[in-house]
Each structure stands twice: as C-alpha cells, then as structure tokens.
C-alpha cells in the first residue's frame, strides 16, 4: 500500500537533520512523531495537575499506509490525532514532516500543512454546518485555501460528490436531508477537497450502523488507493482496525503500549493490555469458547497517572515483589482493589458543605475505610508480612491520610511495575518492527504463563 | 409466536412450553406514531416470548424498532405514539397493554425493569447515587432510613462497586461510565424484577468495561433467575449473551432462532448481509460485503417485503406479498419471514404460502 506523493513543502537543511538523526527515518516515512506531549490546563488559573492527554508518544507514519490508533475512551487517541493536524497545540516534542516541525509552524507554512493534512470527524451529526448546503460545505476548504477559480471549485465539488458515492444534485441539499452514512460521505468529500496527503480519520464509522459502516470503509480503502493517501485511523472498534490498518498503535492513558504490524499484533499480542483489550471484544460466533481476561476497574485519571507503568493499576500480568508468590490470585486481587480504593479516596476533594460539616464536627469526610476493607478482605487470611502493612495502611487512611496509606502499601507490596515506567522495547523478531511497553519483556521478569508472548525468555 | 404461522409450521415450542414457563409474551405488537404527514409503523406486528431465566436478544440497526418495542412493553409510549388495541403483551397472565397508568406503575420496576443505553440520562445529576437507589427501595420495597442505606450499599457491592459505603454518598458525575451503568443496574435490582429489559446497556461503554457489565448481567441472571430481553445492534454482544435471537428490520422480526443456528446458518438475506458486513469475520484488507442502500422508514402497513429493495435475492413477488414467519432449517424454533421459504416448496408454492388468504390464514 505504498505510493509516492509529493511532500508538499520545502525542506530546510537543519530541519532535515532532525529526522535523519532518527534511525527509522527513511524515504518511506511521511511523518515522524517524537516524544509528543499534549497536556490540557497546564497553566490553569487554579493550579492543580494538568490533564496528560498525550504523554510522550513517538512513532513514524509511512507514506501510503493506514496507521491505526486504538484505545479506550480517554486514552488520548483523539487528542493525538488533533495535535497532528494542529487543531491542538503540542506541549512538548516534535512532529516532523519533510524536515519541518509541525508543532512550530506558523504563517504560510502552517497554512500549507493545514491543506496537506485533513481530518474526518466521528459524528456526522455535529461536524457539518446545518445552515450550509452540502455543496457549500465541501467548497469551504477550497475557498479558504483560495483554490483556482470559483467555476473550477464548483466543478471540483461536483466531482467529489460523485467520487464519494453521492449525486451531483445533492449539491443544493442540506445535511439534515441526509442519513448518517451519507453525511459521513460529505465529511469525507470535504476532507479530500484540497487534495491532502495525510488524513486523520477520527472514528469515522463508529456512529454508523454496521451495514453502512462497511460501505464507508470500502469507500475509504478505494480512495486511499486512488489518491495515494496516508491515513491515521483512530478507532475503538478493534475489528474495524484489524480490517483496514497496516500497522497499529495501542494507546493507554496517553502512552503507546504496543506498536506493530496489524496481523502480527492481533494474532500474537505482546503487551498485557493489548491481550486484555483483544480478549474483551465479543466475537459474532456463539460457539467460540471465550478465554477472557476481564479487566478490573477503569483507567485512572490522566491528571494523576500512576507512578510506574500506566497500566499497573489494572494489569493482569503485574509483577509481584519477591516473597509473595504463594498468595492466591484472589488474595492479590483484593489487595489491588484495596489500593484502588485508597487511590480513589485520595483524589476525592471535599465539597464546601462537607468541609463545613467536618468543621462543625457533624461527620467525617469519608466513611471509615474499614468497611471497604472488611468487604474486600473478609474470609481472607494473609501472612503477617501482608497483614501488617494493610493494617497500618487502614489506620493511616482512617486518620484521613490516604497518601500515606498508599505509600505504606506500595513500600511493602509494590513491585517494579509501581515504581518504574517501562520503556517501549522492541519485541518479536528483530526486523518485525514491533514494540511493547512492559517490564515483562525483560528477562528477569519474563512471565512463563504469558500466552502469546514472544519476548526474550531464555 | 405461533399465531401467524400456518398450522403445518407451528413451532414446537408452542406446545412444549406452557404459558407458565413464559416470563413475557409479546403477540402481534403494533406501535404506530401518528405525525402530521404520515404514520410511522415503528413496530409492525411482532411476536416473541421470553422464557423464565432466559436471555432473548433483539438485534437490528438503528430505526428497526428495537427501542420502541422495549418502551411498548414498559407502557412508555406517549402520544403521538399508540399501541394497536389488537396487540397483546402478556406478563403474569395479564395482557398489560390494557393496563391503566396506575396498574402499570405496579409492575414497572417490580415486575419489569429497564436498563437504558445512557446511564447519565437515567441518573438524576442532583441526587446522590445512594438517594436514587433509596428512592427505588422506598417505592418498591418499603425500606427507609438506615435500613434503606444499608440495602443500597449492599446492592452497590452486589454490582461490583468497591468502597460502596463511600460511593453511596457520591453524585453520578463522580462515577465513571462503567460505574454509572453498574449503579443503574443496582437501581433496577432494588425493585427485584422478574424481567429485565436491557436497551443497548453496553453501547456507550469501552470494550473492557462492556465485558465487565456483560459478566455482571450474566452473574445476576444466574443468581436471581432473571429473564432478560437484551437489545443491541452488536452481533458480537448478541452471540455472547443471548439464548435466542430475534432479528428486527424496519419494524418487523425477519428472523428468529436459537443463537447457534442463527449464526451458523442464517436464513434471511438480511441476517446474512448483516453478518457478512462485520469486519472481523472476513479476511483483512478485502472489500467488505455491504447491504446496499439504507434502512427505510416504515411509513405504511407492510404490503410487501420491506427488505426487498435492498435484497440481493429479491424477485418480482417480493414487492407484492408481505412474508410471514415460516419455519426454516432443522431447529423447530428457527423462523424467517422471507418468500424464499419454506425451501421444500417451489417459488410459486412458497409465495402462495405467504400470500394472505381470505380466511385469515387458518387452513
């Protein structure tokens, strides 16, 4: 699926160096993202932690490929896509195309990038202006970029309408006269109007019914082949991603957890998160024996990501510290849930009325953690090196010091997953282009039970 | 279910299953919306039943009438909508379509409860989650005060919310999406219903959270012997949760079958098309099979097959005769409403079989 398309902009020699210094950079690469961060409310009036929507992401987009970006809601995939087309300002890092760093573009160069890179939005109900006719909507980018003459623009819109499976006479209709699928076709035509090289498809089919979804996916694949487009395909639907993408990046809490060619990644996921995500997808086959790892809880807040691995609060393959191997899965799970409870509690800000009640001695801010602990640990007996820190932690939490309570447990029962953020390591065969972010890929932590793991184990 | 089929096609379950095993029976349900310009036959003569402890799926694309079916069962159809008086929905021996509003209130929640797609619109943002569960408890179980609070905490624990004693004092916005749906399920359980209608309960959730909620619903069903009507557009979810499946298209049930034969041998061209357009079932990179066109709005009574304009197998009679549910395949519970069936007949015979007779269809 590779094609040649003109990069679009002039290359300045010193910028060329940036991309050349990356070992992966070659003629195939359209776009290099390096350590990109997009944080919201960084300098907010009231202080507080910023939302780390995208938190240090690096990858290359190859010419003519479809790169998939998957993850659950809130993982930062949409923010990343929007940052690439400069709808959001990056906080840190670079996005390099033909030697230009997109994050610092301005003036004409930025204008050019905004023509070369387009985006198709998820919701065709809200991304089209209801007061413009379909023709005007598709023509708008042509007007903005001052493309040729008005007559030529009209002709181009007519051609585009036909190209995306609509009819010429739809030019004068309004979006509300169209179904969801047709509206999404309009959105695609608008994105293609100024002949971009790179299109961010932000969940383009998730608002559509499955039979209509298939039509749009086919259209996107046809257009890519015909126009040599490069796609960044953002989706939460893994089956769609598997169908349409050449390579996939799996995101969790602002970080890429796993990266690799689609088929390999789906057939043999390396990262525990990818494995859990894939096992959660329901298959349309009732006879399939489901071997599912149901993940516990929800992703933590991107304002307060875990210190170690971002996935450590839910990870089914989390490494245990030495000396606790004999604890059962259920016991260990209960401890992890208890840590989650403390975590949630330490993030609860008391409301004004709660503060007032507390001051007046009417009630304490939170009910005793003992009740939650009782529910979790009832009918479990732990050895003393587990029981003691839990007891101390409960006491600290009852004194209103959840932070300290968390520290006690992490110190006693935490492992490398809680302390160190793993880096993205190359996995699989040497030239496979796969990488995954997990401590398990290091020899000393290799998990003998990990199914499908190809990581260095011997 | 058997009423519309000819005698020779009466599904076995009509005899084998006495009405006492049925938690809910929907017979010839028609729900029409009267608008200025036209009448929308949102649900157009569908029949199905739910046995005790079983999960029945209702699957279809948007606009197929799934949610209107659920609302009809709960008596939530308001003007300009209207349930045809000839329709029957039987619950505990009564035809509840004849209920007055106050009679309906006595079974809503207690008898039949519902979990909606969007938990945020089900929960009231200005009351704590605990207060909302307690409201349900005081209405349906006559529990108040500390006893109600304790029961609310128990219910939250039952649906897998950790630290329930604290959570019970929190507001919906302090819950994550999955937690909210758990809270909604806790509210539904507060009334101890017999039948739970789940209308796209996982559609707004991420897959890992969807898996949690499906696990939870299946656990609760096993514990409480609940009968569940599970409405979704997602064939993957249906394959996982349902015992029997009804496929809806433009207000009608076009195919119904136990889950395994439905996926192994779909008979109706619509079901086949729907299954083939799911990406995961095909090799990647290929073009997906599609169903051409879009779902029509059923704005007149069915006098033909509504799928015919999109159907790859349609022939002339498809636009003249409205097909009736007909036994297909090996499983006695497997019906499809399509002029291609019964397969044992020639096309002409089959068309004659479906063509309405003056004697009301009895032979």
Domain-wise residue ranges, chain B? 118-192
Band (A349; pLDDT cuts 50, 70, 90):
low
As a whole number of angstroms, the distance between CA B135 and CA B142 comes to 10
Interhelix angle B177-190/B207-224, rounded to 10 degrees, is 20
pLDDT value at residue A362: 61
Q: How many CB atoms lie within 10 A of CB A443?
A: 10
pLDDT value at residue B293: 83
Closest CA to A68 of A211, A187, A222, A239: A239
Burial environment of residue A371 by CB neighbours within 10 A (0 to 12, 13 to 18, 19 or more):
middle
Name the β-bridge partners of B112. Answer: B108, B195
Residues of chain B positioned with their CB less than 8 A from the CB of A240: 279
Q: Judge whether A344 lies within some domain.
A: yes
Interchain CB contact of A212 with B (< 8 Å): yes
The verdict on a CB contact (< 8 Å) between A281 and B207 is yes
Burial environment of residue A201 by CB neighbours within 10 A (0 to 12, 13 to 18, 19 or more):
buried
- Looking at chain A, how many residues does it have? 458
- Strands B227-232 and B55-59 turn out to be parallel
Cβ distance A36 to A95 under 8 Å?
yes
pLDDT value at residue A11: 38
Residues of chain A positioned with their CB less than 8 A from the CB of B62: 209
> Which of A76, A286, A363 is the mutation pick for testing B, counting most B CBs within 10 A?
A286
Partner residue opposite B239 with nearest CB, options A221, A285, A298: A285
Residues of chain A positioned with their CB less than 8 A from the CB of B61: 209-212
Both structure tokens of B55:
């999960």
Burial environment of residue B332 by CB neighbours within 10 A (0 to 12, 13 to 18, 19 or more):
middle
Q: Which B residues 179-198 touch A at CB under 8 Å?
A: 179
Closest CA to B295 of A182, A128, A170: A182
A208 and A88 co-located in one domain: yes
Partner residue opposite A294 with nearest CB, options B163, B215, B294: B215
Residues of chain B positioned with their CB less than 8 A from the CB of A368: 165
Residue of B nearest to A66 (CA): B285
Band (A365; pLDDT cuts 50, 70, 90):
low
The verdict on a CB contact (< 8 Å) between B290 and A242 is no
Residue of B nearest to A242 (CA): B284
Q: How many CB atoms lie within 10 A of CB B208?
A: 23
Alpha carbon of B351: minimum distance to chain A alpha carbons (Å): 28
Band (A364; pLDDT cuts 50, 70, 90):
low
Helix (H, G, I), strand (E, B) or coil at A189: helix
Both structure tokens of B303:
């006098």
Interchain CB contact of A67 with B (< 8 Å): no
- Looking at chain B, how many residues does it have? 363
Q: Lowest-pLDDT range, A62-66, A82-86, A212-216, B356-360?
A: B356-360
Dihedral pair phi/psi, residue B24, rounded to 5°: -155, 140
Alpha carbon of A182: minimum distance to chain B alpha carbons (Å): 10
As a whole number of angstroms, the distance between CA A373 and CA A154 comes to 68
Q: Judge whether A233 lies within some domain.
A: yes
Burial environment of residue A447 by CB neighbours within 10 A (0 to 12, 13 to 18, 19 or more):
middle
Cβ distance B272 to B281 under 8 Å?
no
Residue that wins the pLDDT comparison between A451 and A163 = A163
* Domain final position from A217, A252, A287: A252
pLDDT value at residue B288: 86
pLDDT value at residue A327: 87
Q: How far apart are the first and last CA of chain B?
A: 17
Residue that wins the pLDDT comparison between B31 and A454 = B31
pLDDT in tens, A165-194: 999 999 999 999 998 899 999 999 999 999
Cα A142 to Cα A87, A115, A134, A136, distances in angstroms: 19, 9, 14, 10
Residue that wins the pLDDT comparison between B46 and A210 = B46
Closest CA to B351 of B323, B310, B319, B309: B323
Render each residue's pLDDT in chain B as its tens digit; 363 residues.
433 433 444 444 444 455 568 999 999 999 999 988 889 999 999 999 999 999 999 999 888 999 999 999 999 998 899 999 999 999 988 999 999 999 998 899 889 999 988 888 889 999 999 999 999 999 888 899 999 999 999 999 999 998 898 899 999 998 988 999 999 999 999 989 999 999 999 988 899 999 999 999 999 999 999 999 999 999 999 999 999 999 999 999 999 999 999 999 999 999 999 998 888 766 666 788 888 888 888 888 888 999 999 999 999 999 999 999 999 988 899 999 999 999 899 999 999 999 987 544 443
Share of chain A above pLDDT 70, in %: 86
- Strands B88-91 and A424-427 turn out to be unpaired
What CATH number does the domain containing A99 carry? 3.40.50.300
Q: What is the mean pLDDT of residues A201-222?
A: 92
Domain count within chain A = 2
Residues of chain B positioned with their CB less than 8 A from the CB of A337: 162
A107 and A196 co-located in one domain: yes
**Is ipTM over 0.90?**
no
As a whole number of angstroms, the distance between CA B313 and CA A216 comes to 23
Query: Is pLDDT above 60 for A354?
Result: yes
As a whole number of angstroms, the distance between CA B36 and CA B34 comes to 7
The verdict on a CB contact (< 8 Å) between B277 and A287 is no
Residue that wins the pLDDT comparison between A373 and B210 = B210
The verdict on a CB contact (< 8 Å) between A284 and B294 is no
pLDDT in tens, B119-151: 888 899 999 999 999 999 998 888 999 999 999
pLDDT in tens, A274-310: 999 999 989 888 988 777 878 988 889 888 899 999 9
Residues of chain B positioned with their CB less than 8 A from the CB of A243: 279-280, 282, 284-285, 288
The verdict on a CB contact (< 8 Å) between B295 and A209 is yes
> Which of B64, B65, B259, B288 is the mutation pick for testing A, counting most A CBs within 10 A?
B288
pLDDT in tens, A227-240: 999 999 999 989 99
pLDDT value at residue B229: 97
pLDDT value at residue B10: 42
pLDDT value at residue B11: 45
A60 and A202 co-located in one domain: yes
Dihedral pair phi/psi, residue B159, rounded to 5°: -90, 15
Q: Judge whether A403 lies within some domain.
A: yes
pLDDT value at residue A43: 67
A344 and A221 co-located in one domain: no
Q: Lowest-pLDDT range, A6-20, A32-46, B28-42, B141-155?
A: A6-20
Interchain CB contact of A181 with B (< 8 Å): yes
Name the β-bridge partners of B327. Answer: B335
Interchain CB contact of A287 with B (< 8 Å): yes
Residues of chain B positioned with their CB less than 8 A from the CB of A276: 208
> Which of B120, B164, B208, B274 is the mutation pick for testing A, counting most A CBs within 10 A?
B208
Q: Judge whether A310 lies within some domain.
A: no
Q: Judge whether A68 lies within some domain.
A: yes
The 8 Å CB, 24+ separation contacts for A378-387 are A380/A330, A380/A331, A380/A334, A382/A327, A382/A331, A383/A327, A385/A323, A385/A324, A385/A412, A386/A324, A386/A327, A386/A331, A386/A335, A386/A412, A386/A413
Residue that wins the pLDDT comparison between A372 and A18 = A372
Closest CA to B200 of B70, B36, B23, B320: B70
Cα A396 to Cα A156, A272, A370, A391, B240, distances in angstroms: 69, 32, 11, 9, 44
- Strands A198-202 and B252-258 turn out to be unpaired
Cβ distance A158 to A168 under 8 Å?
yes
Interchain CB contact of B243 with A (< 8 Å): no
Which domain covers residue A175, as residue numbers? 13-252
Q: Judge whether A440 lies within some domain.
A: no
pLDDT value at residue B132: 94
As a whole number of angstroms, the distance between CA A122 and CA A140 comes to 19
Partner residue opposite B279 with nearest CB, options A243, A366, A372: A243
Partner residue opposite B166 with nearest CB, options A221, A242, A345: A345
Interchain CB contact of B277 with A (< 8 Å): yes
Alpha carbon of B164: minimum distance to chain A alpha carbons (Å): 7
A246 and A335 co-located in one domain: no
Cis peptide before B207 (omega within 30 of 0): no
Q: What is the mean pLDDT of residues A346-350?
A: 69
């Amino acid at each position: 699926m590779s094609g040649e398309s003109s990069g679009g902009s002039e290359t300045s020699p010193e910028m060329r160096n940036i991309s050349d210094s990356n070992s992966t950079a070659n003629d195939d690469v359209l776009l290099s993202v390096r350590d990109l961060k997009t944080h919201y409310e960084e300098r907010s009036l009231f202080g507080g932690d910023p939302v780390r929507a995208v938190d240090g992401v690096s990858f290359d987009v190859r010419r003519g490929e479809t790169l998939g970006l998957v993850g659950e809601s809130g993982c930062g995939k949409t923010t990343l896509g929007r940052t690439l087309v400069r709808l959001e300002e990056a906080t840190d890092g670079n996005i390099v195309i033909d030697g230009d760093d997109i994050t610092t573009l301005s003036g004409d160069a930025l204008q050019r990038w905004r023509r070369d890179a387009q985006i198709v939005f998820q919701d065709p109900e809200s991304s089209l202006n209801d007061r413009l006719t379909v023709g005007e909507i598709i023509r708008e980018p042509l007007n903005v970029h001052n493309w040729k003459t008005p007559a030529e623009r009209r002709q181009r819109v007519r051609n585009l309408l036909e190209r995306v499976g609509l009819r010429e006479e739809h030019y004068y209709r309004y979006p509300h006269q169209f179904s969801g699928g047709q509206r999404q076709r309009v959105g695609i035509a608008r994105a293609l109007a100024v002949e971009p090289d790179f299109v961010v498809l932000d969940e383009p089919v998730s608002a559509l019914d499955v039979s209509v979804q298939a039509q749009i996916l086919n259209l996107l694949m046809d257009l890519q082949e015909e126009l040599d487009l490069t796609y960044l395909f953002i989706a939460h639907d893994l089956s769609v991603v598997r169908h349409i993408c050449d390579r996939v990046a799996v995101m969790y809490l602002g970080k890429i957890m796993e990266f690799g060619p689609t088929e390999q990644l789906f057939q043999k996921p390396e990262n525990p998160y990818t494995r859990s995500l894939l096992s959660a997808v329901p298959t349309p086959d009732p006879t399939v024996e489901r071997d599912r790892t149901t993940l516990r809880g929800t992703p933590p807040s991107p304002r307060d990501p875990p210190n170690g691995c971002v996935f450590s609060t839910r990870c089914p393959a989390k490494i245990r510290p030495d000396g606790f191997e004999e604890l059962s899965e259920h016991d260990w799970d209960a401890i992890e849930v208890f840590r989650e409870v403390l975590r949630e509690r330490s993030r609860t800000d008391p409301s004004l009325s709660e503060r007032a009640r507390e001051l007046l001695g009417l009630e304490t801010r939170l009910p005793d953690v003992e009740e939650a602990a009782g529910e979790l640990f009832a009918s479990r007996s732990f050895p003393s090196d587990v029981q003691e820190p839990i007891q101390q932690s409960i006491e600290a939490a009852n004194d209103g010091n959840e932070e300290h309570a968390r520290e006690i447990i992490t110190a006693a029962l935490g492992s490398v997953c809680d302390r160190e953020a793993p880096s993205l390591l190359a996995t699989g065969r040497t030239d496979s282009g796969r990488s995954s972010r997990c401590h398990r890929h290091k020899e000393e932590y290799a998990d003998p039970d990990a199914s499908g793991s190809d990581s260095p184990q011997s | 279910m058997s009423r519309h089929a000819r005698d020779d096609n009466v599904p076995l379950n009509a005899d084998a299953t006495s009405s006492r095993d049925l938690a809910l029976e929907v017979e010839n349900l028609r729900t029409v919306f009267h608008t200025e310009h036209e009448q929308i036959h949102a649900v157009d003569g569908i029949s199905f039943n739910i046995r005790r402890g079983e999960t029945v799926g209702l699957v279809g694309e948007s606009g197929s009438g799934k949610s209107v079916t659920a609302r009809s069962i709960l008596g939530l159809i308001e003007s300009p909508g209207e349930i045809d008086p000839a329709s029957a929905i039987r619950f505990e021996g009564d035809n509840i379509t004849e209920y007055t509003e106050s009679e309906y209130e006595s079974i809503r929640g207690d008898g039949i409860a519902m979990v909606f797609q969007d938990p945020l619109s089900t929960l009231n943002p200005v009351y704590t989650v605990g207060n909302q569960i307690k409201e349900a408890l005081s209405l349906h179980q006559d529990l108040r005060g500390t006893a109600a609070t304790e029961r609310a905490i128990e219910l939250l624990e039952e649906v897998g919310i950790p630290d329930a004693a604290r959570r019970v004092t929190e507001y919906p916005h302090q819950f994550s999406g999955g937690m909210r749906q758990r809270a909604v399920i806790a509210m539904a359980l507060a009334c101890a219903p017999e039948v739970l209608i789940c209308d796209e309960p996982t559609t707004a959730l991420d897959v890992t959270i969807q898996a949690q909620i499906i696990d939870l619903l299946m656990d609760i069903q096993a514990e409480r012997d609940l009968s569940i009507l599970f409405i979704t557009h997602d064939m993957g979810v249906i394959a996982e949760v349902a015992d029997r499946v009804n496929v809806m298209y433009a207000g009608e049930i076009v195919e119904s079958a136990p889950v395994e034969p439905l996926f192994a041998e779909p008979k109706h061209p619509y079901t086949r098309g729907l299954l083939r357009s799911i990406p995961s079932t095909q090799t990647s990179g290929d073009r997906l099979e599609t169903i051409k066109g879009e779902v029509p709005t059923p704005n007149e009574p069915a006098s033909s097959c509504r799928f015919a304009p999109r159907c790859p197998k349609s022939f002339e009679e498809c636009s003249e005769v409205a097909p009736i549910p007909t036994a297909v395949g090996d499983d006695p519970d497997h019906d499809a409403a399509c002029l291609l069936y019964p397969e044992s007949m020639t096309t002409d015979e089959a068309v004659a079989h479906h063509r309405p007779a003056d004697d009301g269809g009895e032979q």
